[in-house]
Amino acid sequence: MRSTTLLIIFISLLGFASDKQVIRCIACKEICSQTIDIKDDISKPSKNITIWNRSMCPNFHSYGFICPKDFYAYSSYEKQWNLSTVNKDAFTIKLNSSIYNVPIPKQTINLVVYDQTITKKKKNESLCFWIKIDETYIQEIKKYCQQNDLTLKIHNEKNNTCYIEIIKKTIANKRSE
């Protein structure tokens, strides 16, 4: 009787363990960890600003997943992959050349952040940064965006500054979740 009870408990535990969701990275196919299991090294730049933006409130929910190798994060809720970083060379799935080669002014107010969001149907890429308003640069970036089929958003703020966001939307993603 006791051995039967232990066997039932063991089989139940096996069933419970197999219920855990296994997510493989969209880029490298490694098994992802839950975001709460990976820690950010705050002495270095964030590996994925979507997860660790260094603010008091986290950007990403604790039930998400992250690849410990290349730091792409997966949201089960939104059914999408995301990598957001200041290092444009950190993307295992290479950025579109029109985003990668966006001319950046010599002086930005803060860091330039590159972002890649991938779903089954599309891939969106963007970059954003703050600058002191510079009409010469704004005309240059408008022309670049028009020539490269990019969406440009300029948000004017106080103190002669503006927030620049440049977006490349790609429909018909060839990669799958």
Whether residue 173 sits in one domain with residue 99? yes
Kindly report, residue by residue over 87-108, the tens digit of the pLDDT: 999 999 999 999 999 999 988 8
Q: Please tell me the predicted confidence (pLDDT) of residue 1.
A: 57
Whether residue 102 sits in one domain with residue 70? no
Instruction: Find the domain containing 73 and state its range.
Output: 21-80
Burial 129-167 (b: 16+ CB within 10 A, else e): bebeeeeebbeebeebbeeeebebeeeeeeeeebebebb
Whether residue 74 sits in one domain with residue 99? no
SS3 31: strand
Q: pLDDT tier at 174 (50, 70, 90 boundaries)?
A: low
Q: Please tell me the predicted confidence (pLDDT) of residue 54.
A: 62
Whether residue 120 sits in one domain with residue 154? yes
SS3 147: helix
Whether residue 170 sits in one domain with residue 117? yes
pTM metric for this prediction: 0.81
Q: Please tell me the predicted confidence (pLDDT) of residue 142.
A: 98
Say how far apart CA 150 and CA 167 lie, in whole Å: 6
Q: What is the mean pLDDT of residues 163-167?
A: 97
3-state secondary structure 118-140: ECCCEEEEEEEEEEECCHHHHHH
Q: Please tell me the predicted confidence (pLDDT) of residue 171.
A: 65
Domain count, the chain: 2
Residue 85 bridge partners (DSSP): 114
Q: How far is CA 135 from CA 14, 60, 98, 156, in A?
A: 64, 36, 21, 12
Chain centroid to CA 69: how far? 14
Residue 16 domain-assigned (yes or no): no
Output DSSP code: residue 104.
P
Whether residue 130 sits in one domain with residue 106? yes
Residue 85 domain-assigned (yes or no): no
